[in-house]
Structure 1
């Protein structure tokens, strides 16, 4: 019997989790689910958080340092990184525009959102986070009874929680420089930043700085460091792999626990939760499809007029199909290179330089999904993020995408980084996990398509592309 693929196991875990959640709500077993099943979901979140920080650190250092010596970067390296950065910002901006237009998180019923909001405020008080929009439901006595049901805290404890963020906010509301956000990015103690997930921007800054400096020292000095960094990075990627092998079980516990906490013994709320997820999924999917079929072809047409719209998709079809099935742009890289070289006519000197960098730093699909996910999760918890806070999402998502490993579900690990950056609960990834695997397949297609687009633009600018319109199946061999 053929071994069942991991994504099918995860889908089975999702279905069983949904069935259990429905059964648990209808039979009044929610408390049992929360006490005896949900803790395994917490373990899963803790494992992902454990891996997230070092994975970002070593992935970014390795990605930047492996570009080559400073001289080899030159004109082509600058253009490559610049265009990758532009497409990433385009993807994030498109995602933010769609999620603010559709507002999928606000399509859930109001009572569920109020419950979510109360849970968020209790969590923020416990973790010492400031309430993002300055509104505090725990200050309203009308919500005390419901807050007690959700948290099992006494009224005095709830009142104390309701003022915790106000005290913290008063302490920080001193003379703040307009450039304070820029100052906050540069750490004065890197080890302190490592021990505080909320300071992820400082870790990313250090990783970029460290990686660039490795390019400016002699090879005999930098090579042992690079070998060590690459080796450590491989260990953490293996950790992700091992954790994901247990994902089917964890998905079941996550889904059962999260739904039980949000719905209690009211089965009607379960329906509301999945209605919200369907709108979220459609929003992400719309953004990803627009990137594939509108944004990339438009950008390509501006710079490489010789490649027709349908010709590009015929040429990249094998790589896009493999990306969809594997959910890994790294695993697809050899096929992507063959498609770009044989079908688009890009010189091997260009593809061997641009595409491996793209597999590391160009995660447009992941970036778009993260932007939509953060705002959706904020919306369903009745949190209105300001323009400045959404700008923080753009910056952090752009930087985090550099360290997003080109393996299945690595974007989910990076989402923890982005949620931390705006002071939201990283455990909320459990809410969107049920649909993550399906969306991950489309995200990877976006990433691979973006890599090929940028590679073609760079090749054209260097006059190193020779596109001939032909049937790709004549020269392309997937087994080669």
Structure 2
């Protein structure tokens, strides 16, 4: 038994030590419960991924039918539908309120920094992809690999490179804003007869024409929301009511997002599990395309773990990994959903609450980043282009490598923020350098693996961009406060002006603080003398 001495008498246990132990235990318990409460959603989300992998491996051996697979994937499908449902109001309202809350000078400066950041990081990502593809050489010696051996579906890619970029410009300015919420412009082709030759053969010419395809025109909505927010800001007092409406709409949308986030762990579990169940022969694909998968994922690790944190540290002088630690939930959501747009709600919530980024900044930059900033996509697109060139024994020259870099950077802007959205943009790169597109189905076969790390790097770049803009905004605000304080101090000094008039009556007592009002020569009454004496005494 533990003994101690109290007032000279031996007792079994010290009351003070007992109380301190209890208080320490209670303190540890409170800290643990606080940590659990703060990170419960993160723990549940990560657990959902792990349980989904195990569940998928178990159910994979049950030989489910296609219909049963669809039923198994239903909870995950519901998560995707809820996240996609919230994208439209979130993007439009957050961009309008963000652009309207920033003054024109700040908006122009922050917009320039954002565009420069997106452009530089995407160019670096493209360079990493090309360099790794030439170092690892995933397509060398794999000429026997073709789509027929793997029983893959073909990918239709009959689009010209010029039309792809023209469609990007057309989608920036949608002709119907309501239709842009669920449809986007795309160029298709038809063959029309243009004449006959001497032997009766009809000559056909391929003519492009515009069609509408299913899918939100997020690029056009982003541009409209930005310009509309600036216009509301210009209106001044007349636009305040509409700005308040969009602010309230946005806050209500964020409340809905917080509710949806609690369904994320369950939905992610079935999303990951259903993807594992759906694949016919994972081992064959991974072994056949292992070097391509390795090169892509290694590029994502280098860019996401080294390059982006270094850029953030160099511009802000803050620890980037502390910033990223508060974003585990959106990263897990990105890994499971493979959609930058679907990750936007949780990203916006965590960036504001966990990292303290200004709401005006996050709601301005994150929707734009989810649309135009695709660092991860640029990496795997460049790796895929070089991989297909090596697969066809095609030696790339310096001009073609430069074309890959520029085209990957530009085409990633228009890549859809949805699963497998970057596959179509690879066709643009292949057409630009004159390579066949019939091997794209190889990319599609393993895209479900590569696209997960691709999306994580995409959303990481968006989040760090928001942190960088927040830092620059803080610096700018502190400079303005200093300028205002200096101007206020100069104004106060300028207002302290004391006028001194010589005291004719008592010259030796003249003080710069004493001002005398000269008496009129004709007025020598007693009242005036008393008034003068009273003024002197008061001063």
Once the two structures are superposed, the pairs formed by residues 315-394 of structure 1 within 5 Å of their partners are 320=323, 323=326, 355-363=358-366, 370-373=374-377, 376=380, 390-394=408-412
Name the counterpart of 1:245.
262
CA deviation profile, 1:229-263 (whole Å, cap 9, x unmatched):
1222233333333332111111111111112222x
Partners of 1:250 and 1:49 in 2: how far apart? 14
1:22 pairs with 54, 57, 71, which one? 57
Distance 1:334 1:240 in 2: 13
2:169 to 165, 179, 182: 182
Q: CA deviation at 1:214?
A: 0.9
Q: What does 1:305-320 align with in structure 2 at a 5 Å threshold?
A: 312-313=317-318, 320=323
Check whether the contact 2:351–2:362 (CA below 8 A) recurs between aligned residues. Answer: no
CA gap 1:378/1:179 in 2 versus in 1, 3 angstroms: closer
Aligned counterpart, 1:195: 182
Classify the secondary structure of the residue corresponding to 1:7: helix
Distance in 2 (CA, whole Å) between partners of 1:11 and 1:165 is 37
Q: Give the SS at the match of 1:65.
A: helix
1:226 aligned partner: 243
Q: Which runs of 5+ in 2 are unaligned?
A: 1-32, 184-214, 331-346, 390-402, 428-442, 484-539
**Equivalent-residue separation in structure 2 for 1:180 and 1:368 (angstroms):** 15
Cα distance in 2, alignment partners of residues 334 and 226 from structure 1: 23
Deviations 1:279-315 (A, max 9, x none): 6555334223444553245456xxxxxxxxxxx33xx
If you compute each CA radius of gyration, which structure gives the higher value, 1 or 2? 2
In 1: Cα distance, 2:244 partner to 2:307 partner: 36
CA contact (8 A) 1:30 1:260 kept: no
User: 1:131 aligns to what?
Assistant: none
Q: Which residue of 1 aligns with 2:300?
A: 284
Alignment match, 2:531: none
More strand by share: 2
Deviation at 1:267, TM superposition (A): 5.7
Q: 1:446 aligned to 2:433?
A: no
Per the alignment, do residues 278 and 53 of structure 1 end up closer, same or farther by CA in structure 2, a change over 3 Å counting?
farther
Find the aligned partners of 2:463 and 2:120 in 1 and give their Cα distance: 16
Specify the SS of the correspondent of 2:235.
coil
Report the equivalent of 2:151: 146
- Report the 3-state secondary structure (helix = DSSP H, G, I; strand = E; otherwise coil) of the residue aligned with 1:187: coil
Provide the rounded CA distance (Å) in 2 between the counterparts of 1:26 and 1:66.
55
1:32–1:296 distance in 2 versus 1, CA, 3 Å: same
Report the Cα distance in structure 1 between the residues aligned to 2:227 and 2:167, rounded to whole angstroms: 20
Verify the 8 A CA contact 2:326 2:354 in the aligned structure 1.
no
TM-score normalised per structure 2 = 0.52
C-alpha contact (below 8 Å) 1:187/1:202 kept by paired residues: yes
More off after superposition, 264-273 vs 49-58: 264-273
- CA pair 179-277 structure 1, distance change in 2 beyond 3 A: closer
Q: Is the 8 A contact 2:76 2:270 kept in 1?
A: yes
Whether the aligned pair in 2 keeps the contact of 1:296 and 1:450 (CA below 8 Å) is yes
Find the partner of 1:216 among 230, 234, 237.
Answer: 234
Q: Identify if the C-alpha distance between structure 1 residues 217 and 11 changes in structure 2 by more than 3 Å, giving closer, same or farther.
A: same
**TM-score under structure 1 length normalisation:** 0.58
Cα 1:458/1:41, change in 2 over 3 Å: same
Query: Relative to total residues, which structure has the larger helix share, 1 or 2?
Result: 1
How many residues end up aligned between the 2 structures?
A: 368
Task: Note the aligned Cα RMSD (angstroms).
Answer: 5.2
Alpha carbons of structure 1 residues 103 and 210: separation in structure 2 relative to 1, 3 Å = farther
| Alpha-carbon distance in 2 for matches of 1:318, 1:178 | 37
Q: Would you say 1:295 and 2:322 are equivalent positions?
A: no
User: Which region of structure 1 is more displaced relative to structure 2, 452-461 or 205-214?
Assistant: 452-461
Q: 1:42-76 deviations in whole A, cap 9, x for unaligned?
A: 332233222223322222111111114xxxx33x5
Three-state SS of the structure 2 residue aligned to 1:217 is helix
Contact 1:24 1:33 in 2 (8 A): no
Residues 252 and 272 of structure 1: is their aligned pair in 2 closer, same or farther, counting only changes over 3 Å?
Answer: farther
Q: Distance in 1 between matches of 2:325 and 2:172?
A: 38
Summarize the Cα distance change of 1:235–1:280 in structure 2 as closer, same or farther, 3 Å threshold: farther
Partner residue of 2:120 out of 77, 84, 90 = 90
Task: Describe the shift of the 1:447–1:188 C-alpha distance in structure 2 as closer, same or farther (beyond 3 A).
Answer: closer
Consecutive unaligned residues of structure 1, counting only runs of 5 or more, are 116-141, 151-160, 301-311, 338-353, 401-413, 466-480
What is the CA–CA distance in structure 2 between the aligned matches of 1:212 and 1:369, rounded to whole Å? Answer: 22
Deviation at 1:11? 1.2
With over 3 angstroms needed to count, the CA separation of the structure-2 counterparts of 1:438 and 1:184, relative to structure 1, is closer
By relative contact order (CA 8 Å, sep 6+), the higher-ranking structure is 1
Deviation at 1:89, TM superposition (A): 2.3
* Bigger mean CA deviation after superposition, 285-294 or 183-192: 285-294
Identify the residue that residue 120 of structure 1 maps to in structure 2.
Answer: none
Q: In the TM superposition, what whole-angstrom CA distance separates every residue of 1:101-158 from its partner, at most 9, and x where no partner exists?
A: 33599969989x977xxxxxxxxxxxxxxxxxxxxxxxxxx47x935xx7xxxxxxxx
Decide whether the 8 Å contact of 1:336 with 1:448 is kept in 2. no
Task: Find the aligned partners of 2:371 and 2:298 in 1 and give their Cα distance.
Answer: 16
